[in-house]
C-alpha cells in the first residue's frame, strides 16, 4: 500500500518527488521547492546568486589575449580577483561548444576546455557558484569572422540544431561526454562539483516547426544530461522563442532562463539621459501557462548596454527580485587584458580597473540582490529610487549602499554613514564624509580589527574616446594612470595620525597620516592606529580576499599615462548650418548621429538611412512596411546639451516654437514628444505633408503624454512605454530628450524624412 501511495504521488506531483531527491543530494548546495523557490540545502533559506558572464577561455577573448601575448592563466587570476572584490557569488557562461566538439558531438580535450576548467577552479577558490550552459550554437568569430572548427554547431547552426534528428544525436553525445568529463584542477565531473549548482541546456535557442518537437528535443537533452548521473536543476530558455513558451513549459526542466537588455544593444555610441524608466519593471508574460508556475527563474544575461553611467545595476537587481528571479549574471565582465580597448563586446563595458564607477555599482547591485526580498515591490520610478539602504540617482550619477556595516558609493556623495562606528567595509569612487579622495579610480577599505584596516587603491582612468563605437586592439578607449593622489580617511578607531604601510611596493616604507591625510598610489596598504602593532600575516583574509593581494597592477600592453597630460574627451559639436538670429538648433542629422536612437517595430524590414539633397542638406529617412502595430517607428535624440548651451543672459522662455524640417511619402500625423530629466513627457501632433517645408509648432501646445522607451528593451515582450505617475508642467529648460514618432496607418507603406529641428522665438 505504501509503495502504491508513493507511486501515485510521483504521477500527480513529479515536482515534489524531484525536490525530495534534490534535498538528499549532498553534491549540490541548492534545491527547488514545490513553489519553484531555490533554497539552500543547509538551512532551507531562499538562495540569491548574482554575478557575471566571462568568456576568456574561448573565442575572441582567447584570441585577443594571444595576440597581445598575455598569459591567459595570469589574466584569469586577476579577473577573478576583481570579481571577488565586487562581492559576486555567481558565474555563468555559454561554452563555445564549437571549439570543443566535432561534427558528431565528440568532446575535444583541448586548450579551451583546459582553460575553462582552470577558470572554474579559480572561481571556486573565491566561493563563486557556477551555472554552465554547455551549448551555445555560436560560431567563435565575433567580432571577427568565424573559424572553421568542424563542430556540430558549425554543421547544423542554431536553427537546424533544434529540429534535425542528426543534430539531436550529436548534442546528446556531446552532453554525455561533457558532463562525464573530469576537471583536472578540481578532479571532479561538473555534476559532482558542489560549486556547479545547475545547468542551462543551451544558449538562446531559435525554435521552429511543430511544438511537440520542441518539447521532445528539450526532454531528450535533459535525459542525456541525467544519464551521466547529474541530479541538479536543469534550466531552459523560455524568452528567446516566446511563441514556443508553452512547448518549453511542458518539458521536464526545473526552471526557465530569461535575459534583459533594457537599453537595447549595439547603439554604436554612449547613451545619454535618464534611463531608470527602462529598468523600472521586468515583465513576464508566461504566468498564464499552467506548467510555467512553480518553476525556478534565472536571468542568464543582463546589461544596461551602451551605458557608462553608474546608476543602473542596483535598479535592475531590484526589479529582478520583484519578478521572482534568484539568479542574475551580467553579460559580460571585460577581461582586464583587453578592457582598455573594449573590443570583445563593444556594446558592453564593465571592468573594475577601467570602468570603476560601473564596477562599484555592480558591487552595490550584488548586495541589493542578496537583501531585497523576493517578489517585493517598491513602487514605480521615482518612488523606487530609494529602497532599504540603497539609493540610485540619475541626476547624481550615483548608486549608494548605506548600511550599518557597509558604505558603498559609485560617485561623490554627501550622505553620512548611518553608523560610522560600526562600519566594516567601505568602497567607492570619488569622495564621501569618511573618505576625501582626489583620484577617480576605485578604492576598498576593509576593517581587520579595531584600529586596523586594509586599503586597496586602483589606478586613475583617462577617457580617450566613446567606448561603445567601432573599436580595435590598437586604439584604446580608456587609459590608466599610476598617479599618486591625496586621500583623507576619517574613521573614529583610526585617529588622525595613523600609520600607512604598503603591502605591495617593492621597497615599502612606513608613513603617518597628517590630520587623516596621506599620499597614495595604486596598491594595497595596511592602516594602523598610532601605537598599534601589525599582527597580520599573508594568510589573513577579508572574505574572499587575501591581505597582501592586489589587483591594481597592469598587464602588458596596457597604456599607462600621466593623467595630467591628457584632456578628457569632450565630444564637442558645432552645427554647420545657417540659422535665423532668432533660432537655436537642437537637431542636425549629420552632426547628431551619435545622439540618435532609431526605433522600428520591425527592425528586420524597416531600414533607415541618411540622405543628402541637391542643396547639400542631410536628412534622416525612416522607412516603414505594414505591420500590426499602430506605432510605425521614429527616433529619439538627446537635446539637453543644445538646450543648456543657450547663451548666458538669455532664457529658454524666449523660445515660443519648435520648427521641424520634414517631408513624407504620404501625408501622415507625427507626434513630437519632449521628455524631461524626471522622465515626464509632453507631446503634440503635427501633420507632415508630401512637400519639403518648415513646420512651426507652438511650444504652448505640448501636453503631458506617455513616451516610448528607447532604445527598445529586449526581449520584445518588455514594456514599450513608461507611464509616469509624477505631476508636472512643461518647462523647456528641463527637457533632455526629443522623440519623433510616426503615427499613421500601420497598413500603409510609407517613409518620413526629417531635417534640421530648431527652437525659434517667432
Among 263, 273, 255, 276, smallest CA distance to 318 is for 276
Q: Is 481 in the same domain as 623? A: no
Whether 61 is in a domain gets the answer yes
Per-residue model confidence as pLDDT tens digits over 457-482? 999 999 999 999 999 999 999 999 99
Rounded Cα gap, residues 677 and 734, in angstroms: 6
pLDDT tens digit sequence for 359-408: 999 999 999 999 999 999 999 999 999 999 999 999 999 999 999 999 99
Same domain for 364 and 410? no
- Lowest-pLDDT range, 491-505, 619-633, 663-677? 619-633
Cross-strand partners of 406: 425
Cα–Cα nearest to 317, from 401, 233, 235, 239: 401
As for how many domains the chain has, the answer is: 3
617 and 747 belong to one structural domain: yes
- Per residue in 542-599, pLDDT (tens digit) is 999 999 999 876 554 444 443 333 333 438 334 455 566 668 899 999 999 988 999 8
Measured at the alpha carbon of residue 492, what is the angle toward residues 490 and 494, in degrees to the nearest 5? 75
Tell me if residue 454 falls in helix, strand or coil: strand
A 10 A CB-CB count for 623 gives: 18
DSSP letters, 497-555, are S-EEEESSSSS--EEE-BTTEEEE-SEEEEEE-TT------TT-EETTEETT-------
Largest CA distance in the chain: 94
In sequence order, what are the beta bridge partners of 426? 407, 445
Give a yes or no: residue 577 inside a domain. no
What residues make up the domain containing 197? 2-371
pLDDT of 1 higher than 60:
no
Q: What is the CATH number of the domain that holds 718?
A: 2.60.120.430
User: Is residue 524 located within the same domain as residue 551?
Assistant: yes
| Domain final position from 565, 593, 619 | 565
pLDDT digits over 54-73, tens only?
Answer: 999 999 999 999 999 999 99
Is residue 15 located within the same domain as residue 44? yes
Confirm whether 376 is domain-assigned: no
Tell me, yes or no, whether 310 and 418 share the same domain: no
Whether residues 720 and 638 fall in one domain:
yes
Report yes or no on 576 lying in a domain. Answer: no
Write down which residue in 310, 337, 371 finishes a domain. 371
Residue 574 lies in a domain: no
Mark which of 316, 338, 371 sits at the end of a domain: 371
Which uninterrupted H or E stretch holds 168? Answer: helix 165-180
Together in a domain, 365 and 388? no
- The string over 141-152, giving b where at least 16 C-beta atoms fall within 10 Å of a residue's C-beta and e elsewhere, is eeeeeeeebebb
- Give the pLDDT confidence score for residue 27 in this predicted structure: 80
Angular region, 328: left φ>0, alpha ψ -120 to 50, beta rest: beta
Length of the chain: 762
605 in any annotated domain: yes
Backbone angles phi, psi at 523, to 5 degrees: 150, -175
Question: Helix 356-371 vs helix 313-322: angle between axes, to the nearest 10 degrees?
Answer: 20
Domain match, 475 and 550 both: yes
Q: Which three cell numbers stand for residue 171?
A: 548534442
* Residues 361 and 442 reside in one and the same domain: no
CATH number at residue 359: 3.20.20.80
575 lies in a domain? no
Do 511 and 604 sit in the same domain of this protein? no
> How much is the pLDDT for 16?
42
Whether residues 524 and 616 share a domain: the answer is no
Model-wide pTM > 0.85:
yes
Give the confidence band of 603 by pLDDT, cuts at 50, 70, 90.
low
* Pair 369, 362: CB distance under 8 Å: no
Contacts of 635 (CB under 8 A, 6+ apart): 596, 597, 598, 599, 608, 620, 622, 710, 739, 740, 754
pLDDT band with cut points at 50, 70 and 90 for residue 623: confident
Nearest by Cα to 455 from 385, 542, 392, 565: 542
In order of 126, 251, 408, 469, 487, the CA distances from 426 in angstroms are: 20, 46, 6, 34, 14
Confirm whether 578 is domain-assigned: no
Amino acid at each position: 500500500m505504501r509503495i502504491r501511495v508513493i507511486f501515485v504521488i510521483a504521477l500527480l506531483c513529479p515536482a515534489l518527488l524531484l525536490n525530495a531527491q534534490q534535498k538528499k543530494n549532498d553534491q549540490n548546495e541548492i534545491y527547488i521547492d514545490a513553489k519553484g523557490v531555490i533554497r539552500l540545502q543547509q538551512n532551507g533559506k531562499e538562495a540569491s546568486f548574482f554575478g557575471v558572464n566571462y568568456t576568456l577561455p574561448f573565442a575572441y577573448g582567447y584570441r585577443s589575449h594571444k595576440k597581445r601575448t598575455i598569459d591567459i592563466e595570469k589574466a584569469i587570476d586577476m579577473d577573478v580577483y576583481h570579481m571577488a572584490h565586487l562581492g559576486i557569488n555567481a558565474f555563468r557562461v555559454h561554452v563555445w561548444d564549437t571549439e570543443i566538439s566535432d561534427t558528431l558531438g565528440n568532446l575535444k580535450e583541448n586548450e579551451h576546455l583546459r582553460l575553462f576548467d582552470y577558470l572554474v577552479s579559480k572561481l571556486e577558490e573565491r566561493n563563486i557558484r557556477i551555472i554552465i550552459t554547455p551549448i551555445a550554437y555560436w560560431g567563435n568569430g565575433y567580432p571577427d569572422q568565424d573559424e572553421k572548427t568542424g563542430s556540430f554547431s558549425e554543421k547544423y547552426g542554431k536553427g537546424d540544431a533544434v529540429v534535425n534528428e542528426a543534430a539531436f544525436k550529436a548534442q546528446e553525445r556531446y552532453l554525455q561526454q561533457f558532463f562525464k568529463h573530469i576537471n583536472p584542477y578540481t578532479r571532479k565531473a561538473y555534476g559532482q562539483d558542489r560549486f556547479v549548482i545547475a545547468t542551462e541546456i543551451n544558449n538562446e535557442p531559435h525554435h521552429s516547426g511543430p511544438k511537440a518537437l520542441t518539447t521532445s528535443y528539450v526532454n531528450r537533452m535533459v535525459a542525456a544530461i541525467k544519464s551521466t548521473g547529474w541530479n541538479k536543476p536543469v534550466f531552459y530558455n523560455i524568452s528567446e522563442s516566446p511563441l514556443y513558451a508553452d512547448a518549453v513549459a511542458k518539458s521536464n526542466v526545473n526552471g526557465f532562463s530569461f535575459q534583459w537588455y533594457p537599453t537595447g544593444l549595439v547603439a554604436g555610441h554612449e547613451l545619454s539621459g535618464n534611463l531608470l524608466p527602462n529598468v523600472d519593471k521586468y515583465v513576464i508574460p508566461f504566468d498564464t501557462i499552467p506548467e510555467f508556475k512553480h518553476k525556478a527563474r534565472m536571468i542568464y544575461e543582463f546589461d544596461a548596454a551602451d551605458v557608462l553611467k553608474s546608476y543602473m545595476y542596483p535598479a535592475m537587481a531590484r526589479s529582478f527580485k520583484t519578478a521572482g528571479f534568484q539568479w542574475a549574471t551580467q553579460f559580460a565582465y571585460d577581461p582586464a587584458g583587453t578592457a582598455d580597448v573594449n573590443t570583445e563586446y563593444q556594446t558592453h563595458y564593465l571592468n573594475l580597473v577601467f570602468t570603476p564607477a560601473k564596477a562599484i555599482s555592480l558591487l552595490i547591485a550584488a548586495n541589493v540582490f542578496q537583501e531585497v526580498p523576493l517578489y517585493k515591490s517598491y513602487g514605480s520610478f521615482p518612488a523606487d529610487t530609494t529602497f532599504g539602504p540603497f539609493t540610485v540617482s540619475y541626476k547624481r550619477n550615483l548608486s549608494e549602499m548605506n548600511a550599518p556595516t557597509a558604505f558603498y558609493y559609485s560617485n561623490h556623495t554627501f550622505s553620512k554613514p548611518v553608523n560610522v562606528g560600526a562600519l566594516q567595509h567601505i568602497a567607492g569612487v570619488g569622495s564621501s564624509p569618511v573618505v576625501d579622495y582626489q583620484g577617480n579610480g576605485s578604492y576598498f577599505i576593509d576593517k581587520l580589527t579595531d584600529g586596523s584596516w586594509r586599503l586597496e587603491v586602483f589606478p586613475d582612468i583617462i577617457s580617450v574616446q566613446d567606448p561603445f563605437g567601432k573599436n580595435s586592439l590598437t586604439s584604446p578607449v580608456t587609459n590608466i594612470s599610476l598617479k599618486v593622489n591625496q586621500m583623507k580617511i576619517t574613521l573614529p578607531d583610526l585617529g588622525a595620525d595613523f600609520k600607512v604601510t604598503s603591502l605591495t611596493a617593492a621597497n615599502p616604507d612606513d608613513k603617518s597620516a597628517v590630520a587623516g591625510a596621506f599620499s597614495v598610489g595604486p596598491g594595497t596598504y595596511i592602516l594602523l592606529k598610532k601605537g598599534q602593532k601589525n599582527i597580520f600575516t599573508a594568510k589573513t583574509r577579508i572574505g574572499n580576499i587575501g591581505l597582501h593581494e592586489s589587483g591594481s597592477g597592469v598587464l602588458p600592453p596596457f597604456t599607462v599615462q600621466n593623467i595630467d597630460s591628457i584632456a578628457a574627451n569632450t565630444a564637442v559639436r558645432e552645427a554647420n548650418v545657417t540659422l535665423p538670429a532668432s533660432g537655436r538648433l537642437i537637431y542636425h542629422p549629420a552632426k547628431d548621429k551619435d545622439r540618435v536612437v532609431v526605433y522600428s517595430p520591425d527592425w528586420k524590414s524597416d531600414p533607415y538611412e541618411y540622405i543628402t539633397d541637391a542643396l547639400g542638406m542631410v536628412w534622416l529617412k525612416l522607412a516603414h512596411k505594414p505591420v500590426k502595430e499602430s506605432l510605425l517607428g521614429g527616433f529619439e535624440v538627446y537635446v539637453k546639451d543644445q538646450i543648456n548651451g543657450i547663451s548666458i543672459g538669455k532664457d529658454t522662455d524666449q523660445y515660443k516654437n519648435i520648427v521641424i524640417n520634414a517631408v513624407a511619402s504620404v501625408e501622415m500625423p507625427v507626434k513630437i514628444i519632449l521628455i524631461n530629466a524626471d522622465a515626464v513627457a509632453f507631446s503634440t501632433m503635427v501633420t507632415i505633408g508630401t512637400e519639403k517645408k518648415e513646420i512651426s509648432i507652438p511650444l504652448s501646445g505640448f501636453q503631458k503624454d506617455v513616451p516610448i522607451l528607447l532604445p527598445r528593451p529586449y526581449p520584445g515582450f518588455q514594456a514599450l512605454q513608461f507611464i509616469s505617475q509624477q505631476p508636472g508642467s512643461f518647462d523647456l529648460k528641463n527637457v533632455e530628450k526629443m522623440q519623433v514618432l510616426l503615427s499613421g496607418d500601420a497598413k500603409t507603406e510609407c517613409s518620413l524624412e526629417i531635417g534640421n529641428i530648431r527652437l525659434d522665438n517667432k
